[in-house]
Structure 1
Amino acid sequence: MIIEVNLEKPKLINEKNTIYAAYDKAFYVVDENGAYLPYIATFFNLPQQKNAMVSVVKVKWERMPVRDYRILPKDKVQVEPNKTIVSSKYLGLYRRYPVHALKIYPVQYDNNRKELRWIKSLRLEIRGQIDNSRKSVSPLTKATQKFTKTLFINQSEQIYQLPKPQLSTLNKKEQFANENPALRYSQIYKIAVNEEGIYKITYEDLKDAGYPLEFTNPQKLRLFNKGLEVPVYFEGAKDGKFDPGDFFEFWGEPNEKTFIKTNPEQYKDPFSDENIYWLVLSDENGRRLVDESGGLINTAPGTYIRPYAFRETLHFEKDGAYINFGHYTANVNNPAYQIDHWYYDRGIAAVESRTYEFDLPYPFQYGSQVFVKAAFRGFSIDTKMNGPGKGHQLTLWLNDRKVAEVKPEDEWKAQTVRFISNNEIGGLPQSNLEHGKNLLRIDMEQTGVTDVVLLNWFEISYLRKYRADNDYIKFRVQENLPRNLTPQFEIDGFKEKTIQVYKLGVSKIINTRIDVYTDNTDRLTSYRISFQDEVFDPKVEYVALTEKQKKKPLSIKEYKSWKRLLPQVSLLDKSNKANYLIITDNLFYVNATRIKLFQNNKGFQTEVVRVE
Structure 2
Amino acid sequence: MRSSRPRPPRDTSSTEKIAEDEQVLEEFALDPQAYAVNDFTPDERVIKGTIAFLRDQKKAQVLFFPMSFNPQAGELRLYTLIRVRITYVPDQGFGMQQFITAPFGLAAADPNWPPAGDQLYKITTAEEGIYRVTHDELAAAGMDTASIIPRNLHLYNRGAEVAMYVYGEDDGYLDPGDYIEFYTEAINTKYTRTNIYWLVADQSPGLRMTQIDGAPGSAPFANDFLEVLHFERDLPQGYWGLAPGEDSVDRWFWADFTPPEYQWVVLPNIPEDFPVDLPGVSTLGGTATVKVALRGFAADKLHQATFSIKNSLFPNGSQIAQRSWQGQDEYRVEVDIDQGLLVPGENTITIELLGTE
How far apart are the structure 2 equivalents of 1:210 and 1:310? 41
Q: Residues 324 and 201 of structure 1: is their aligned pair in 2 closer, same or farther, counting only changes over 3 Å?
A: closer
Tell me the alpha carbon deviations over residues 278-330 of structure 1, each in whole angstroms, 9 at most, x when there is no partner.
0124665323235544446x5xxxx3412111112222223445245475x33
Counterpart of 1:221 (choices 149, 153, 157) is 153
Kindly report which structure 2 residues correspond to 1:210-249, keeping only aligned pairs within 5 A, or say none. Answer: 210-211=142-143, 216-239=148-171, 241-245=172-176, 247-249=178-180
Offset, 1:245? 3.3
Cα distance, 1:358 vs structure 2? 3.0
Q: Unaligned stretches of 5+ in structure 2?
A: 1-112, 262-268, 311-316
1:218–1:242 Cα contact (<8 Å) kept: yes
1:516 matched residue in structure 2: none
What is the match of residue 420 of structure 1?
A: 333
Per chain length, whose mean CA-contact separation is higher, i.e. which structure has more relative contact order (CA < 8 Å, sep 6+)? 1
CA distance in 2, matches of 1:397, 1:208: 45
Q: Distance in 1 between matches of 2:142 and 2:348?
A: 48
Q: How many residues were matched structurally?
A: 229
Do the aligned residues in 2 keep the contact of 1:223 with 1:279 (CA within 8 Å)?
yes
Q: 1:278 aligns with which of 192, 198, 213?
A: 198
Query: Which sections of structure 1, spanning at least 5 residues, go unmatched?
Result: 1-181, 260-269, 450-612
Query: Which of 210, 223, 227 is residue 312 of structure 1 equivalent to?
Result: 227
Aligned-partner Cα distance in 1 for 2:176–2:347: 43
SS at match of 1:428: strand
Question: Which amino acid in the other structure matches residue 345 of structure 1?
Answer: A
Query: What is residue 344 of structure 1 aligned with on the other side?
Result: 254
Deviations 1:176-195 (A, max 9, x none): xxxxxx93443332123456
* RMSD, matched Cα: 3.7
- Partner deviation per Cα, 1:84-126 (whole Å, 9 max, x = no partner): xxxxxxxxxxxxxxxxxxxxxxxxxxxxxxxxxxxxxxxxxxx
Is the aligned partner of 1:354 residue 2:271? Answer: yes
Counterparts of 1:326 and 1:288, CA distance in 2: 44
Q: Deviations over 1:516-558 (max 9, x none)?
A: xxxxxxxxxxxxxxxxxxxxxxxxxxxxxxxxxxxxxxxxxxx
Residues 374 and 226 (structure 1), Cα distance of their counterparts in 2 relative to 1, 3 Å cut: farther
Select 1:198's aligned residue among 114, 117, 131: 131
3-state SS of 2:327 partner = coil
Could you tell me how far 1:254 is from its partner in structure 2? 8.5
* Residues 186 and 437 (structure 1), Cα distance of their counterparts in 2 relative to 1, 3 Å cut: closer
Matched, 1:407 2:317: no
Whole-angstrom distance in 1 between the partners of 2:347 and 2:137: 39
Alignment CA distance shift 1:348-1:316 (3 Å): farther
1:257 matched residue in structure 2:
188
Structure-1 separation of matches of 2:257 and 2:183: 34
Which whole-Å CA distance do the structure 2 matches of 1:429 and 1:312 have between them? 15
- Structure 1 counterpart of 2:165, which letter? Y
Q: In the superposition, relative to structure 1, how do residues 406 and 238 fare at CA in structure 2: closer, same or farther (>3 Å)?
A: same
- Contact 1:191/1:278 (<8 A) preserved: yes
Equivalent residue for 1:437, pick from 340, 346, 349? 346
The answer to whether the 8 A contact 1:192-1:275 is kept is yes
Match of 1:552 in 2: none
Amino acid at match of 1:392: H
Out of 287, 296, 305, the position equivalent to 1:378 is 296
What is the distance in 1 between the residues matched to 2:122 and 2:241?
Answer: 39
Matches of 2:188 and 2:194 in 1, distance apart?
A: 12
Q: Secondary structure at the match of 2:132?
A: strand
> Once the 2 structures are TM-superposed, how far is the Cα of residue 256 of structure 1 from its aligned partner?
4.1
Contact 1:318 1:344 in 2 (8 A): yes
Q: Which residue type is aligned with residue 206 of structure 2?
A: G
Per-residue CA deviations over 1:132-169 (Å, capped at 9, x if unaligned) read xxxxxxxxxxxxxxxxxxxxxxxxxxxxxxxxxxxxxx
Superposed CA deviations along residues 329-356 of structure 1, whole A, max 9, x for unmatched, are 336xx87x74333x33332526846242
Alpha-carbon spacing, 1:224–1:413, altered in 2? closer, same or farther (3 Å): same
Paired residue secondary structure (1:431): helix
1:229/1:258 CA distance change after superposition, 3 Å = farther
Q: Distance in 2 between the 1:294 and 1:249 partners?
A: 19
Contact 1:193/1:252 (8 A) holds in 2: no
Identity among equivalent pairs (%): 24
Decide whether the 8 Å contact of 1:232 with 1:248 is kept in 2: no
One-letter code of the match for 1:201? T
Contact preservation (8 Å) 1:325, 1:379: no
